[in-house]
Amino acid sequence: MLTVPFEAHAETLKHLKPALRAGQILVDTTVPLAASVGGRATRILGVWQGSAAQEAAELATEGVSVVAAFHNTSAEVLRGDDDVDCDVIVCGDDKEACRTIRGLARKIPGVRALDGGKLENARIVEQITALLIGFNIRHKGHAGLRITGLSAEAYEL
């Protein structure tokens, strides 16, 4: 799991690279928030690769499967004692790695895990985080994301 502020993202990956091995899964939860460079937490920085997760895939050791997940789930809620009333969207290019991470996410009580498609979709999921932060600031809460209108099977894949 890579959970770092965006300003430390590339540097951390460069330091981790020697420890990463082909066949491993790297779950990147990083969001390129403007707050990391002195801006507002409700704004996203442009990332040359498209998303923080795509940057991770570019910087990781060849053969490491990068999966983007847990962007829209409040850390405060994950630390709590109550069930998490939130969906986790999992994006990645390695279907088996994504399936594994969705299975892990579902072990958290209350979490539903969804296949978010290719890693390129991480840019959308990362951007939603800035919106949720805005809600949390305005309403002093810990908003998450819940996708509606899908069959139960969508959460079992």
Alpha helices in 5-108 (DSSP H): 9-16, 52-59, 75-79, 95-106
Per-residue model confidence (pLDDT) at position 86: 92
Q: Residue with structure tokens 């994301």?
A: 145
Where does residue 134 rank: exposed (0-12), middle (13-18), buried (19+ CB within 10 A)? Answer: middle
- Please state, rounded to an integer, the average pLDDT across all residues of the chain: 93
- HSE value, Cβ hemisphere, 13 Å, CA-based, for 129: 29
Q: Could you report the per-residue pLDDT of 79-135, keeping only the tens digit for each?
A: 878 888 999 999 999 999 999 999 999 999 999 999 999 999 999 999 999 999 999
Per-residue model confidence (pLDDT) at position 64: 98
Q: Residue with structure tokens 């139960």?
A: 152
- For the chain, the domains span 6-155
Q: Residue 157: which pLDDT band, with cuts at 50, 70 and 90? A: low
Where does residue 89 rank: exposed (0-12), middle (13-18), buried (19+ CB within 10 A)? Answer: buried
Residue 41, pLDDT > 80, answer yes
Query: In Å, how far are 29, 67, 107, 113, 133 from 40, measured between CA atoms?
Result: 19, 26, 33, 29, 10
CATH of segment(s) 6-155: 3.40.50.720
**pTM of the entire predicted model:** 0.93
Please say whether the beta carbons of 131 and 104 come within 8 A.
no
- Cα separation, 53 vs 90, whole angstroms: 11
